[in-house]
Amino acid sequence: MHVGVSGAGKRANSRQRRRRSLGGSGDGIGRSRGTCRSWHSWSTCDGSIYAFLPAANRFFFFPSPSSPRRQRIVLLFPVNRFFIKKEFPCDEYYTSIMSYNTAAEVDKAHATVTETFRSNATKDLTWRRTQLRKLWWLLQDNKERIADALKQDLNKHRQESVLVDVVGIQAACLEALANLKKWTADEKPRRTDPLNLVGGAVIRREPKGVSLIISAWNYPFMELLEPLIVAIAAGCAVVLKPSELAPASQDLLVEIVPKYLDSSAIQIVTAGPKDMDHLLSKKWAHIFFTGSTGVGKIIYAKAVENLSTVTLELGGRGPAIVTANANIDLSAKRIANTKFMNSGQVCVGVNHIFVDPKVKKPFIEALKKYFDQFLSGEESEPSYCTRIVNDKNYGRLEALLEKSKGTVIYGGDRNPKTRYWGPTIVDNVTTDDSLLTEELFGPILPIIEATLQEAIDYTAAHDHPLSLYGFTDSKVEREAILNQTNSGGVTFNDCLLHMLVKDAPFGGVGPSGMGAYHGIWGFNEFTHFRTVVTVPFWMDLILGYRYAPYSDSKLSKIITFQGHKTSVPFDREGRDTGFFGGWFSKF
């Protein structure tokens, strides 16, 4: 479409007048992005935004999230004396025009926190306590804005967003405050050892140093701020990198983090996929990443260049195994609830279900019943349902479902314009189906008919998942699942709850991640355990025989001092030789 330049000028002038009449600042988009330059923007009554970027000589139209035009961005750009109109999918073009921090800005952020860490400011317990308290208030003061951002990014209902991305983080913050002295206290190794006793040996818990935290988009606040809590508690300086795929959440974080936290020690930067190489090339003491296994491998490879330690919270194809000894109705309810949550975009979600042939039919009927309840009987798109994050992931799910040889027996309702995708049960799925080729991370639920042993064999033969769910009242079956499989964590007869256990680690194994966090376990990820011993000068009276010239006599004295044993209560075949058959042996 061609528009005469004079007409475009009139429209632009009228828009400028409208912006002034609305009291717009003229740089709203620039502020919200954090790094965009010289945007002029104004809003319409439905929440849509018009914008002009003088540097690029471009007009943009960003539809409101509630607008039926939400999936398109309109671009007007001048060619000779005309303006050419083009439309682009939001996900495709929104990402391409988004401005991230420059390499120089990333360098400055890294240099700033490095200098602060070297000053030892972050090691002070008062500083750590103050930052944790401020972080709690950051969440409290911005609770509604966080919920609004998640509504904009994913259409999350407040019951999901506030519970996880506000209240849950605040609880982690208070836990760190309550245990800060305990976590940071020196540890004294056993005093029965002579050197430990005389040398006053201690293990100091010291911060690793300047750390990078990279979050995913499905829980953009929790996955960024919970690791930050333990990094602060450990005394580290931190650079935060929120996910660019949740832009409203990213923008809010960019705005509020510097307002509440010490920006000399805690910086936040934005980066797209093409910018990550430079960010990862900086020297980090520790990198904490939450995201996909594929990206996790890239980050791990980059970390090796500087020998940075890493925590990788990944995912995997977590199965639910439903045996004939399960409570079928309750199992279906709890699995359906997990799959409904965040539209299945959960790293500890149920990827697929193995169900015993004896109970398959009633189990599927129960699944359908509970999905009907969760949808409130609405035929269209319930307002409280989370949407698929972007067009790319929506298309990925469609491609996987199209290739599947299974049968959709429930749901499948979806809308590409809004990215709504209702719960979808796919029956008659085999282990070589397209739906089992990768982590689904969506509302599709494949059903595989299998005995317990078949389910165990398949799970054990493939990548270890982050979570595994077994549904059975049989202790023998639970032991079989535990003994013959491996996973980050296990919940029996429910889902997700193993990650809520207090004072316990949450993390993956192998392709589902490395390292763990939550409470003290996360603190330990950012902590270096430094052994210190102070040897008094008079110890030479006892240890003088360690110096050259060497002799067999000196060797015998050293062995005796170290408490070396030459007699043990077991033979060369590993059999007990003691009088009580090894009952009281610690070996």
Q: Which residues are catalytic?
A: 313, 347
DSSP reduced 3-state for 207: strand
Residues whose CB is less than 8 angstroms from the CB of residue 481 and which lie 6 or more positions away in sequence, other chains included: 321, 452, 456, 468, 470, 472, 490
Strands 444-449, 352-355: parallel, antiparallel or unpaired by DSSP?
parallel
The DSSP 8-state label assigned to residue 343 in this structure reads G
6: its two tokens: 């004079």
Alpha-carbon span 302 to 104, nearest angstrom: 20
Strands 407-411, 513-514: parallel, antiparallel or unpaired by DSSP?
unpaired
Query: What count of Cα atoms within 13 Å lies in the side-chain half-sphere of residue 230?
Result: 25
Q: Which amino acid, one-letter code, is at 489?
A: G
Helix/strand number for the chain, H first, E second: 21, 23
Strands 286-290, 309-313: parallel, antiparallel or unpaired by DSSP?
parallel
Spatial CA neighbour of 98 closest among 180, 154, 39:
39
| Residue 198 burial (10 A CB sphere; 0-12, 13-18, 19+) | middle
Alpha-carbon span 156 to 160, nearest angstrom: 7
Alpha-carbon span 312 to 287, nearest angstrom: 8
Strands 49-53, 58-62: parallel, antiparallel or unpaired by DSSP?
antiparallel
The DSSP 8-state label assigned to residue 364 in this structure reads H
Residues whose CB is less than 8 angstroms from the CB of residue 117 and which lie 6 or more positions away in sequence, other chains included: 207, 209, 210, 236, 237, 265
State how far Cα 30 lies from the chain centre: 27
Residues 440-477 as b or e (16 or more Cβ within 10 Å = b): bbbbbbbbbbbbbeebbebbeeebbbbbbbbbbeeeeb
DSSP reduced 3-state for 554: helix
Alpha-carbon span 267 to 258, nearest angstrom: 7
Task: Could you list the beta-strand ranges (E) of 297-419.
Answer: 309-313, 319-322, 352-355, 407-411, 414-415
Spatial CA neighbour of 234 closest among 184, 308, 291, 295:
184
**Distance between first and last Cα of the chain:** 84
Alpha-carbon span 357 to 226, nearest angstrom: 42
